[in-house]
Amino acid sequence: MGMRTESGLVEVGGSADGAVTYLVAMPPEALPAVRVFDLSAAWDAARLAAIEQAWGGPRLFRFRRADGGFTDLALTDRDACCWARAVDATIGMGTPYGLTLCLRLLALVELLGRSPWAAELIAMRRDGAALHPGLLHAAATQALTAQARFDETPFRALVRDRLPPPTVPPPTMPPPSLAPPSLAPTATPPPQAARRKGMRQAPGASA
């Protein structure tokens, strides 16, 4: 295969059909975390490459597992190859850090496509899509699975920790009462006073 060593843990070469090959001395879940800034920069570079239609060729990955076996992954989708080419051109994929940066970016895109709650955290702007900081933090720190993807449950928990607490609406005041106001009872004059009111006092009589 004519492979050349880029680091002690990643060997980069090429296949007869023109694909770039990577022999990695660790499984995907053992790849390191990355800086949020680097992941954000990789997102911007990949998005620009897609706009410019700077397509790349296929990439083949073989990860060595602790039990001596291998995990093989193939990157053949046109958009994914474009994004990998952008990461390789900016940071390089010949080291575990550059390799995991690319795989984390692709795993994030895959998760956004199958998780509506995560897609809601993307803001569409005139210059493209902007990711919520919680998404970037989770994608930069959450461990990859054996298939170089993100487990949605712990990923979502990391994002939730970065979201502001939900706004509690103020208590609603009860509506004003529509019942008529109560009327005070009318004072009734005592019977003796009523009789006196209808009688004329005799001359010389005392009240």
Tokens of 161: 């920790």
Name the pTM for this structure: 0.74
| Cα dihedral 82, 8, 12, 28 sign | negative
Class of residue 10 by CB neighbours under 10 A (exposed 0-12, middle 13-18, buried 19+):
buried
* Domain housing 58: 10-161
The H or E element spanning position 9 is none
**Number of domains comprising the chain:** 1
Residue 171 included in any domain: no
Task: Please provide the distance, in angstroms rounded to a whole number, between the alpha carbons at the two ends of the chain.
Answer: 135
Amino acid at 126: R
Residue 1 included in any domain: no
Residue 175 included in any domain: no
pLDDT per residue as tens, the chain (207 positions): 444 445 579 999 998 888 999 999 999 999 999 999 999 999 999 989 988 999 999 999 999 999 999 999 999 999 999 999 999 999 999 999 999 999 999 999 999 989 998 888 877 776 667 788 999 999 999 999 999 999 999 999 999 887 766 555 666 665 555 555 554 555 555 555 545 544 455 455 554
Eight-class DSSP state of 169: P
Residue 181 included in any domain: no
